[in-house]
């Protein structure tokens, strides 16, 4: 009977299992993605791994591979259960932004206004469609991870090399790797020849990792498992033979895919506040309607039918039908502005959430740093030279403590010449930009040689390359043999300091070769490493009459020339942005896969304040300890995907709004879990982009800070829009309540209410959405997520202006009816009064606290002026055009009426300004 298995099921062999010593509820080192205990393959020798897997260096036989494929399933990631398109669409109708509209459409249908109900429902459906499309894009994240698996693999089967589909690989297969290959499964390397693998997508390590067959510590972090290669990573140099140890969901990339599928996307603070506001508003409207109904029936003697119709009209008036559209437009304008500042928003509510961010968890490579290696230090026997400049441009100053020029130090020139000749890279000038072809370390050393005044073509013409020993991780150095046409050959060597120094017998000093002082040079290496610099040593050896070179020729007798110290330098704008974050009350935390020493040096360079802690230390902490560590430390090194999620959760439990940056597959679960996930657009994987809320087009930390500023502006404008729109809706409701209680004819009809709510209010409020950032916006502390959307002060302002609008409109209506004017004319006066009140109040709202008698407030936003002009034109059509008169029951009014209404609007504007002045000494930031 055929067994149904999940792709990538771990190898079910008793000889392969081990007892976990991990505490309950934790995953022991070496457990696979499915959570089943398996050997820590990286800690076993190659021979042990082959034996435990019941395989051989020649691979599996065809029948055995087929049997294992039947047992384990194909080497592909299991897709999650798909949510049907219909279900995703229906789910959008629970969105708080549109929930307010549904009762409005229902009451309109109840009173027979089917056309109006259809218009409101159309708004609801459009909002739902937008959410439906956005959610569909988010579900592509897992698909992007699956696409990272190699489509084909070179494998040994029946002692022959074969090319098979990657999904046919099974545990025990022996895979052959070469430069340019994508690793098709998790491998224990059993033979290596100069193998380097780019693992940034999994670990965040910016440089390729040199691999070997030597086992490493059982609890080694993912980035330190040099005896393993992981599915989805890229071979950049060399060749290898690897034993398949995990496939499909059991691989490291499969484990991340499982994390992503289980990670729930959190509700944004705006959505939570809008939901709370919607529930509060619905309860208030229902309460007001019920109270009006009861008073009318019990105290005023109206029939139940009459009062029911009045209550429905009250609901239509009180519900701000245009509010969701206003919020959506405000967010959309924020999206457009951010796109102009290199921040691409994928989920619209994230625009506002950025404004509440209190912690930014950022990657190091390419975000805080340039993702370009640069030689910062060159050390010879007599001097320590510091290099200016960034990137691969051979431009910048070289300085030492004595203020000499580079050409005055022969030892420096010898060191730079060695780095130039023992080099396989090229730096080329294209369109005024220097670009690298080759290894980043080689490119950085070439740039230093250019700064020292050496020209690559000239040096190579004087000493052409005769032979070379390529870099291999087992040797940890490369060497070239160079010889002038009529002279003796010289071997130039550069590589890891421990490998090169061990082969040196002398060091070059000002008076020639001197016996090497190993303690002194070891101290120099340690000093550079503490500064976060990657150290490369350079040496030479005279080889008279040689025309070829072998590694054994370099086992001793080398002459040390000096050391190069390389860094991935911080972006200048990152330094400025970290300082700006501190002023804005935003903590910046760096979470990286790099070693703690490197991470600490970069953290200090960019100005991060706090301690440094590494991933293995986090593993030993309980939840309380993790919460303290998350708050107290600013740099987290050797971090895994689980660490990132745990840190995000710890910070969010403490009430922080967290933005998380990332570019690799390993970052996708944390990006999805954070309040705002920020992916890198240039070097980010598709999986990271699809899991994010925002993509940085320029991979620049400064862009995040600019986006936070824009998010704060959007939030300010949303609050302005709220306190602008609500007095109009509440004012109309107040007019109806007072008219009912006083036994008056309704001054405004439900259809006229819709005109005001959906046409004029929305049009005018668009101007607010274009308001620029207020002065000092990035000197505020982040607002806590518990702060309500409408503070006590803003509620007072809404109530105060509502009262003014109700009083003004009732005065206009009573005055008109007292003069014996027709009802249609009186209602027209009331609607126009409301709209002019809105226009005047719009300028009050452009500055919530400061007075509006400023040029920038009255005339600084051209969109406000345009929308006021547009609304006045609409009102002329509403008042005088025959078709609109027939639809809305309006009538023409005289020029004197317009002057009187404009005067009342000016009075309202002045009263609100006086209220600002009176309350100014007592107000607090709301």
Is residue 210's pLDDT more than 70? yes
pLDDT of amino acid 133 = 65
Structure tokens at 513: 């070769």
Closest CA to 367 of 584, 142, 608: 608
Neighbours of 539 (CB within 10 A): 30
- Secondary-structure breakdown of the chain: helix, strand, coil percentages, each rounded to the nearest 5: 50, 15, 35
Is the model more confident about 823 or about 106?
Answer: 823
Q: How confident is the model at residue 785 (pLDDT cuts 50, 70, 90)?
A: confident
Where on the phi/psi map is residue 694: left (φ > 0), alpha (ψ -120 to 50), or beta? Answer: beta
CB of 395 within 8 A of CB of 450? yes
- Residues 625-653 have a mean pLDDT of 92
Is residue 291's pLDDT more than 70? yes
Closest CA to 56 of 185, 162, 158: 158
Structure tokens at 39: 């050997």
Is the model more confident about 666 or about 517?
Answer: 517
Rg for the chain, CA atoms, rounded: 35
Catalytic residues, by residue number, are 363
CB of 406 within 8 A of CB of 385? yes
Is residue 663's pLDDT more than 60? yes
CA distance 315 to 110: 12
- Within 13 Å and on the Cβ side, how many CA atoms surround 344? 13
Q: What is the mean pLDDT of the chain?
A: 83
Distances (CA, A) of 424 to 207, 429, 479, 535, 684: 16, 17, 10, 18, 27
Residue 667 is given by DSSP the state G
All residues at 6 or more sequence positions from 268 whose CB lies less than 8 Å from its CB, including other chains: 347, 349, 350, 352, 353, 675
- Out of 30-39, 202-211, 388-397, 491-500, which region has the weakest mean confidence (pLDDT)? 30-39
Coil vs helix vs strand at 534: strand
Is the model more confident about 574 or about 664?
Answer: 574
CA distance 814 to 835: 18
pLDDT of amino acid 267 = 61
Where on the phi/psi map is residue 741: left (φ > 0), alpha (ψ -120 to 50), or beta? Answer: alpha
Residue 291 host element (H or E): helix 269-298
Structure tokens at 298: 């019990």
Structure tokens at 789: 């959307």
- Out of 247-261, 390-404, 533-547, which region has the weakest mean confidence (pLDDT)? 247-261
pTM (2 d.p.):
0.67
Per this entry, what is the length of the chain?
A: 926
Residues linked to residue 369 through DSSP beta bridges, in sequence order = 570
CA distance 431 to 438: 19
pLDDT of amino acid 112 = 67
693-721 confidence digits (pLDDT tens): 898 888 888 889 999 999 999 888 888 88
Strand duo 374-379 + 384-387: pairing: antiparallel
CA distance 760 to 326: 11
140-197 confidence digits (pLDDT tens): 544 554 444 447 889 999 989 898 989 999 999 999 998 778 899 999 999 998 898 9
CA distance 40 to 90: 46
Distances (CA, A) of 88 to 84, 132, 348, 591, 689: 6, 6, 17, 34, 21
- Residues 793-799 have a mean pLDDT of 89
pLDDT of amino acid 98 = 55
CA distance 647 to 363: 13
CA distance 79 to 249: 10
Q: How confident is the model at residue 305 (pLDDT cuts 50, 70, 90)?
A: low
The 10 Å CB-count burial string (b at 16+, else e) for 807-833 is: bbbbebbeebbeeebebebbbbbbbbb
Is residue 22's pLDDT more than 90? no
Structure tokens at 924: 């607090």
The DSSP string of 210-254 is E--SS---TT--GGG-TTEE-TT-EEEEEEEEEEEEE-GGGSHHH
Name the residue with tokens 């005067």: 903
- Percentage of residues in the chain having pLDDT higher than 90: 44
CA distance 509 to 565: 19
Coil vs helix vs strand at 713: helix
31-70 confidence digits (pLDDT tens): 333 334 578 999 999 999 999 999 999 999 999 999 999 9
Q: How confident is the model at residue 4 (pLDDT cuts 50, 70, 90)?
A: very low
CB of 569 within 8 A of CB of 390? yes
CA quadruple 806, 811, 814, 815: dihedral, nearest 10: -160
Name the residue with tokens 């009350």: 585
Q: How confident is the model at residue 20 (pLDDT cuts 50, 70, 90)?
A: very low
- Percentage of residues in the chain having pLDDT higher than 70: 85
Structure tokens at 672: 């999805």
Is residue 687's pLDDT more than 80? no
Closest CA to 251 of 26, 31, 571: 31
CA distance 492 to 442: 14
843-752-897 Cα angle (round to 5): 60
Helices assigned H by DSSP within 73-113: 85-91, 96-99, 101-110
Burial class of residue 164 in the structure, from the number of CB atoms within 10 Å of its CB (0-12 exposed, 13-18 middle, 19+ buried): middle
All residues at 6 or more sequence positions from 48 whose CB lies less than 8 Å from its CB, including other chains: none
Neighbours of 860 (CB within 10 A): 13
Closest CA to 746 of 801, 803, 809: 809
The 10 Å CB-count burial string (b at 16+, else e) for 697-708 is: eebbbbbbbbbb
633-637 sheet: strands from edge to edge: 343-345, 694-696, 676-680, 658-662, 359-362, 587-591, 633-637, 611-614
- Within 13 Å and on the Cβ side, how many CA atoms surround 328? 18
Structure tokens at 324: 């969701």
CB of 226 within 8 A of CB of 211? yes
CA distance 134 to 705: 24
Is the model more confident about 744 or about 107?
Answer: 744
The DSSP string of 307-323 is HHHHHHHHHHHHS-TTH
Residues linked to residue 445 through DSSP beta bridges, in sequence order = none
CA distance 159 to 166: 18
Residue 543 is given by DSSP the state E
Burial class of residue 260 in the structure, from the number of CB atoms within 10 Å of its CB (0-12 exposed, 13-18 middle, 19+ buried): buried
Q: How confident is the model at residue 365 (pLDDT cuts 50, 70, 90)?
A: confident
Coil vs helix vs strand at 724: helix
pLDDT of amino acid 36 = 41
Is residue 11's pLDDT more than 50? no
pLDDT of amino acid 574 = 87
Is residue 401's pLDDT more than 70? yes
pLDDT of amino acid 809 = 95
84-139 confidence digits (pLDDT tens): 777 777 766 765 445 556 765 676 677 666 765 676 676 667 656 755 664 555 45
């Amino acid at each position: 009977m055929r067994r149904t298995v999940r792709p990538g099921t771990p190898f079910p062999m008793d000889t392969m299992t081990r007892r976990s010593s991990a505490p309950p509820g934790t995953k022991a080192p070496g457990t696979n993605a499915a959570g089943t205990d398996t050997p820590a393959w990286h800690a076993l020798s190659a021979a042990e791994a082959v034996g435990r897997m019941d395989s051989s260096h020649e691979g599996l036989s065809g029948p055995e591979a087929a049997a294992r494929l039947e047992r384990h399933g194909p080497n592909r990631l299991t897709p999650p259960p798909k949510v049907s398109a219909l279900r995703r669409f229906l789910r959008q109708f629970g969105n708080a932004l549109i929930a307010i509209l549904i009762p409005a459409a229902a009451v309109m249908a109840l009173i027979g206004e089917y056309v109006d109900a259809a218009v409101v429902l159309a708004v609801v459906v459009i909002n739902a469609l937008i959410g439906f499309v956005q959610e569909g894009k988010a579900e592509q994240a897992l698909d992007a991870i699956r696409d990272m698996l190699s489509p084909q693999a070179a494998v040994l089967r029946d002692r022959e090399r074969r090319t098979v589909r990657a999904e046919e690989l099974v545990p025990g297969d022996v895979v052959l790797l070469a430069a340019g290959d994508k690793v098709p499964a998790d491998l224990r390397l059993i033979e290596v020849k100069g193998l380097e693998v780019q693992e940034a997508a999994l670990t965040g390590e910016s440089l390729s990792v040199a691999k070997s067959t030597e086992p490493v510590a059982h609890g080694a972090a993912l980035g330190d498992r040099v005896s393993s290669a992981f599915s989805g990573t890229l071979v950049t140099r060399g060749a290898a033979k690897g034993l398949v140890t995990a496939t499909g969901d059991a691989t490291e990339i499969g484990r991340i895919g499982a994390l992503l599928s289980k990670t729930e996307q959190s509700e944004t603070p705006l959505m939570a506040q809008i939901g709370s506001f919607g529930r509060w508003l619905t309860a208030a409207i229902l309460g007001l309607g019920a109270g009006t109904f009861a008073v009318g029936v019990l105290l005023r003697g109206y029939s139940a039918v009459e009062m029911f119709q009045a209550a429905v009209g009250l609901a239509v008036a009180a519900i701000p039908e245009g509010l969701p559209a206003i919020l959506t437009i405000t967010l959309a304008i924020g999206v457009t502005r951010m796109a102009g500042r290199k921040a691409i928003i994928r989920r619209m509510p994230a625009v506002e959430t950025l404004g509440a961010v209190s912690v930014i968890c950022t990657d190091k490579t390419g975000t805080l740093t340039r993702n370009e290696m640069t030689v910062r230090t060159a050390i010879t026997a007599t001097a320590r030279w510091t290099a200016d400049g960034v990137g691969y441009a051979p431009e910048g100053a070289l300085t030492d403590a004595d203020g000499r020029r580079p050409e005055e130090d022969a030892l420096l020139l010898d060191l730079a010449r060695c780095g130039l000749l023992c080099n396989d890279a090229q730096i080329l000038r294209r369109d005024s930009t220097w670009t690298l072809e080759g290894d980043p370390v080689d490119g950085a050393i070439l740039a230093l040689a250019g700064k020292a005044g050496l020209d690559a073509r000239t040096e190579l013409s004087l000493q052409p390359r005769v032979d070379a020993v390529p870099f291999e991780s087992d040797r940890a150095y490369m060497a070239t043999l160079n010889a002038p046409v009529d002279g003796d050959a010289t071997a130039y060597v550069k590589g890891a300091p421990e490998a090169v120094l061990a082969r040196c017998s002398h060091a070059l000093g000002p008076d020639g070769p001197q016996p090497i002082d190993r303690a002194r040079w070891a101290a120099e290496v340690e000093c550079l490493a503490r500064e976060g610099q990657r150290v490369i040593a350079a040496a030479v050896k005279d080889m008279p009459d040689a025309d070829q070179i072998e590694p054994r020729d370099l086992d001793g007798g080398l002459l040390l020339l000096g050391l190069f110290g390389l860094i991935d330098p911080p972006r200048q704008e990152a330094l400025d942005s970290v300082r700006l974050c501190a002023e804005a009350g935003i903590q910046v935390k760096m979470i990286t896969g790099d070693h703690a020493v490197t991470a600490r040096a970069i953290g200090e360079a960019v100005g991060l304040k706090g301690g440094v802690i590494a991933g293995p230390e986090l593993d030993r902490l309980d939840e309380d300890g993790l919460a303290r560590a998350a708050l107290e430390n600013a740099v987290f090194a050797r971090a895994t995907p689980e660490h990132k999620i745990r840190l995000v959760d710890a910070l969010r439990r403490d009430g922080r709004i967290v933005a998380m940056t990332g570019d690799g597959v390993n970052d996708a679960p944390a990006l999805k879990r954070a309040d705002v996930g920020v992916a890198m657009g240039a070097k980010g994987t598709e999986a990271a982009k699809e899991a994010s809320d925002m993509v940085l087009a320029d991979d620049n930390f400064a862009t995040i800070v600019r986006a936070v500023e824009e998010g704060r502006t959007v939030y300010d404008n949303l609050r302005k829009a709220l306190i602008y729109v609500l007095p109009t809706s509440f004012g109309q409701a107040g007019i109806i309540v007072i008219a009912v209680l006083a036994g008056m004819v309704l001054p405004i009809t439900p259809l006229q209410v819709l005109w005001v709510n959906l046409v004029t209010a929305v049009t005018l409020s668009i101007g607010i959405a274009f308001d620029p950032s207020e002065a000092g916006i990035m000197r505020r502390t982040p607002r806590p997520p518990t702060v309500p959307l409408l503070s006590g002060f803003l509620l007072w302002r809404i109530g105060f202006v509502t009262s003014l609008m109700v009083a003004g409109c009732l005065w206009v209506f009573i005055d008109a009816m007292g003069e014996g004017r027709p009802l249609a004319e009186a209602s027209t006066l009331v609607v126009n009064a409301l709209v002019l009140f809105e226009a005047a109040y719009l300028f009050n709202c452009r500055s919530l606290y400061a007075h509006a008698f400023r040029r920038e407030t009255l005339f600084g936003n051209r969109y406000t002026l345009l929308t006021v002009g547009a609304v006045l034109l609409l009102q002329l059509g509403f008042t005088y055009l025959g078709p609109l008169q027939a639809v809305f029951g309006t009538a023409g009014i005289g020029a004197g009426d317009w002057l009187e209404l404009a005067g009342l609007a000016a009075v309202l504007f002045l009263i609100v300004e006086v209220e600002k002045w009176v309350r100014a000494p007592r107000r607090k930031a709301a």
